[in-house]
């Protein structure tokens, strides 16, 4: 297809593609597509025949689910390179009825580097809000006083021993800061469990 199609700016442009066997490269490609404002990506077998109107067994669309979660930032990491000086990876948690916090993943995508890049929070904005809330620091990692709630979407919820919730968000992406929402109104662990089981 690349050889057969002649591109013309603003008329005929081939979609960006990636051929890889690396899960890490595929996840990075997916995250970049979401950051660019795309709905998601198509994943296809290279040796699969083309069947108009059919993707079964040959390809699948990967995109975030429509449900979003309001989660509490409980930790972060200082960025490197062009993100040096900013907090750039944020540990997020849900709550239970008693107000206990349960980690459910880390989010670093969906966040803008510049105000001019569109709707959503910037790394600078998040850093200014969270820096006064740092309660402990070890290397590049910091512990954040649970105060700020952010809206997050994701591809799916998985079982995970990494976090004390027992779950982890796959491909989480920050949508916006919810300064209007106190942490006791954040999404609950019970909701996370319900959403996990509704996927099956």
Q: Which residue in 153, 7, 170 sits closest to 16, CA to CA?
A: 7
Q: What is the pLDDT of residue 73?
A: 98
Ramachandran angles phi, psi of 177, nearest 5° = -80, 140
For the chain, give the percent of residues with pLDDT over 90. Answer: 54
Domain interval for residue 164: 69-198
My answer on whether 83 and 44 are in the same domain is no
As to burial, measured by CB atoms within 10 angstroms (0-12 exposed, 13-18 middle, 19+ buried), residue 156 is middle
My answer on whether 35 and 52 are in the same domain is yes
My answer on whether 97 and 156 are in the same domain is yes
Q: Which of 63, 82, 100 is the last residue of a domain?
A: 63
My answer on whether 114 and 21 are in the same domain is no
Question: How far lies 102's CA from each of 29, 92, 119, 162, in Å?
Answer: 29, 8, 28, 11
My answer on whether 31 and 114 are in the same domain is no
Rg of the chain in Å (alpha carbons): 19
How many structural domains are present in the chain?
2
Ramachandran angles phi, psi of 36, nearest 5° = -80, 0
Q: What is the pLDDT of residue 168?
A: 97
Neighbours of 175 (CB within 10 A): 18
As to burial, measured by CB atoms within 10 angstroms (0-12 exposed, 13-18 middle, 19+ buried), residue 83 is middle
My answer on whether 129 and 79 are in the same domain is yes
Q: Which residue in 63, 75, 33 sits closest to 154, CA to CA?
A: 63
Q: Which of 63, 79, 94 is the last residue of a domain?
A: 63
My answer on whether 40 and 123 are in the same domain is no
Q: How many CA atoms lie within 13 A of 164 on its CB side?
A: 11
Q: What is the bridge-based pairing of β-strands 101-107 and 134-138?
A: unpaired
Q: Which uninterrupted H or E stretch holds 198? A: helix 189-198
Q: Which of 16, 35, 63 is the last residue of a domain?
A: 63
pLDDT higher than 90, residue 36: no
Condensed to tens digits (0 to 9), the pLDDT of residues 110-161 reads 898 877 666 678 999 999 999 999 999 999 999 999 999 999 999 889 999 9
Average pLDDT, stretch 16-42?
A: 77
Q: What is the pLDDT of residue 122?
A: 92
Average pLDDT, stretch 77-85?
A: 92
My answer on whether 93 and 17 are in the same domain is no
Residue 155: give its domain's CATH number.
2.40.50.140
Q: What is the pLDDT of residue 22?
A: 83
Determine if the pTM surpasses 0.95: no
My answer on whether 38 and 76 are in the same domain is no
Ramachandran angles phi, psi of 2, nearest 5° = -60, -40
Q: What is the pLDDT of residue 64?
A: 61
My answer on whether 183 and 142 are in the same domain is yes
My answer on whether 73 and 144 are in the same domain is yes
Angle ∠(177,37,195) on CA atoms, nearest 5: 60
């Amino acid at each position: 297809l690349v050889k057969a199609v002649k591109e013309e700016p603003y008329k005929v442009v081939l979609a960006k593609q990636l051929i890889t066997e690396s899960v890490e490269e595929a996840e990075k490609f997916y995250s970049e597509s979401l950051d660019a404002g795309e709905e998601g990506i198509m994943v296809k077998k290279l040796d699969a025949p083309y069947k108009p109107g059919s993707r079964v067994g040959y390809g699948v669309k990967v995109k975030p689910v429509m449900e979003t979660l309001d989660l509490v930032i409980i930790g972060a990491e200082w960025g490197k390179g062009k993100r040096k000086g900013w907090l750039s990876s944020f540990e997020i948690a849900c709550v239970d009825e008693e107000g206990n916090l349960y980690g459910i993943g880390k989010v670093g995508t969906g966040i803008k580097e510049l105000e001019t890049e569109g709707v959503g929070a910037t790394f600078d904005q998040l850093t200014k809000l969270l820096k006064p809330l740092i309660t402990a620091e070890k290397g590049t990692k910091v512990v954040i006083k649970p105060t700020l709630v952010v809206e997050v979407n994701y591809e799916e919820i998985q079982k995970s021993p990494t976090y004390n919730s027992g779950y982890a968000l796959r491909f989480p992406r920050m949508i916006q800061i919810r300064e209007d929402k106190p942490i006791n109104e954040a999404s609950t662990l019970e909701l996370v469990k319900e959403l996990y089981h509704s996927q099956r």
